[in-house]
């Protein structure tokens, strides 16, 4: 009975999502914008209270702050890896992520109009490799020329590291993509996790983070709201176009988000340590 109910729930949810892809896109954009706003509030709180009590617990001048940050990042990546494995190995049994994947993919394939597919085919370019590679190189060069060397390095590590992790995981899980015969969008290679989703998560979330470092405060909220909208739009477009299952996109967001947070955690630790070191050097006679 439980299995049957699980199968029905997955089918019903998949059918509901497939009926209104544009409406769910708008709802998702709003939800991700709110998540970005919450993340900005958390980042501001972390920076505001870095002196006390965190400053007493983790002195800014102590080099082991970076070690703590790296250890926390390693633990976070481990947990994310376990979640990725659970998503990938859930199979297609009733009540699993795979059942929802199948129901949503079948519903979209049957109901998505050519106009909707064309619309999301245009939006999916937000996560194309050539777009994000151009963005990565351009931003790195701009940061380096403006002498933001640490930010430039962190940006490149975030982008390149995520790309490498995504490639490794694709070859590890070897999931076949859903069938997409509409001819409007094409994709090759393995499906899990979604490279478009993970790369856009890292790129646009990192841009929002850099905005909080380099731009006036008034620009911070618009930056994170726009980043959230772009991240969801890219991921959802892959599902609507049938080139990825929903769990591929969720895994991509999880992978990219975890890697980005780990990178930012280390960057914040290094920036704080360097700031304290420069302040101490300036005070010396």
What does pLDDT average to over the chain? Answer: 78
Residue 197 has pLDDT above 90, yes or no: yes
pLDDT of residue 199: 94
Kindly list the domain boundaries of the chain, sorted by start residue. Answer: 2-279
Cα(9)–Cα(24) distance, integer angstroms:
18
> Which whole number is the average pLDDT over 188-194?
83
Q: Could you read off the pLDDT of 75-127 as tens digits, one per residue?
A: 666 676 677 666 666 665 555 666 777 777 777 777 777 888 888 888 888 88
Query: CB 32: neighbour CB atoms within 10 A?
Result: 24
Q: 27-36, 175-184, 220-229, 269-278: which range is least confident on average?
A: 269-278
Within 10 angstroms of residue 83's Cβ, the number of other Cβ atoms is: 15
Find the mean pLDDT for residues 159-169: 90
- Which DSSP symbol is given to 218? G
Over 50: is that where the pLDDT of 58 sits?
no
Residue 274 has a pLDDT of 62
- Name which residue leads in pLDDT, 100 or 190: 190
Residue 41's contacts (CB-CB under 8 Å, 6 or more residues apart) are none
Which whole number is the average pLDDT over 240-256? 88
pLDDT of residue 179 exceeding 70, the answer is yes
Report the pLDDT value the prediction gives residue 92, as an integer from 0 to 100: 57
Q: How confident is the model at residue 229 (pLDDT cuts 50, 70, 90)?
A: very high
143, 263 Cβ separation under 8 angstroms: no
The CB density around residue 225, as the number of other CB atoms within 10 Å, is 20
Query: 91 CB contacts (<8 Å, ≥6 apart)?
Result: 98
Q: Which residue has the higher pLDDT, 249 or 3?
A: 249
Q: Which residue has the higher pLDDT, 80 or 148?
A: 148
pLDDT computed for residue 70 by the predictor: 61
3-class SS at 200? helix
Q: Write the pLDDT tens digit of every residue in 4-46.
A: 334 446 566 666 777 778 888 899 999 999 988 888 887 777 6
**What is the DSSP-derived secondary structure letter of residue 127?**
G
Mean per-residue pLDDT, 35-59: 65
With a cut of 60, say whether residue 140 has pLDDT above it: yes
Residue 77: what pLDDT? 67
For residue 165, is pLDDT > 70?
Answer: yes
Of the spans 187-201, 216-230, 243-257, which averages the highest pLDDT? 216-230
User: Cα-Cα-Cα-Cα dihedral of 25, 103, 116, 163, to 10°?
Assistant: 60
Contact 80, 260 (CB under 8 A): no
Rounded Cα–Cα distance for residues 121 and 186 (Å):
10
Give φ, ψ of 50 to 5 degrees. -65, -25
What is the percent of the chain where pLDDT is above 90? 24
């Amino acid at each position: 009975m439980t299995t049957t109910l699980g199968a029905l729930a997955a089918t019903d949810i998949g059918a509901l999502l497939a009926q209104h892809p544009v409406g769910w896109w708008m709802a998702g954009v709003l939800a991700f914008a709110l998540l970005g706003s919450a993340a900005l509030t958390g980042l501001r709180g972390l920076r505001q209270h870095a002196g006390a009590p965190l400053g007493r617990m983790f002195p800014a001048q102590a080099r082991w702050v970076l070690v703590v940050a790296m250890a926390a990042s390693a633990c976070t990546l481990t947990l994310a890896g376990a979640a990725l494995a659970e998503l990938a190995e859930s199979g297609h049994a009733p009540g699993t992520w795979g059942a929802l994947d199948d129901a949503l993919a079948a519903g979209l394939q049957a109901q998505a109009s050519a106009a909707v597919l064309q619309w999301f085919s245009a939006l999916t370019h937000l996560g194309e490799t050539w777009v994000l590679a151009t963005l990565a190189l351009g931003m790195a060069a701009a940061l380096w020329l403006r002498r933001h060397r640490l930010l430039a390095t962190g940006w490149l590590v975030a982008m390149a590291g995520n790309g490498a992790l995504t490639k490794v995981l694709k070859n590890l899980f070897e999931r076949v993509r859903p069938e997409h015969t509409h001819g409007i969008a094409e994709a090759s290679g393995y499906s899990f996790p979604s490279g478009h989703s993970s790369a856009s998560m890292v790129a646009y979330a990192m841009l929002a983070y850099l905005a909080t470092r380099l731009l006036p405060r008034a620009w911070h909220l618009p930056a994170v709201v726009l980043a959230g909208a772009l991240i969801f739009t890219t991921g959802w477009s892959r599902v609507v176009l049938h080139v990825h299952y929903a769990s591929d996109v969720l895994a991509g967001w999880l992978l990219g988000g975890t890697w980005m947070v780990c990178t930012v955690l280390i960057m914040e630790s290094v920036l704080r340590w360097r700031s304290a070191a420069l302040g101490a050097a300036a005070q010396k006679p």
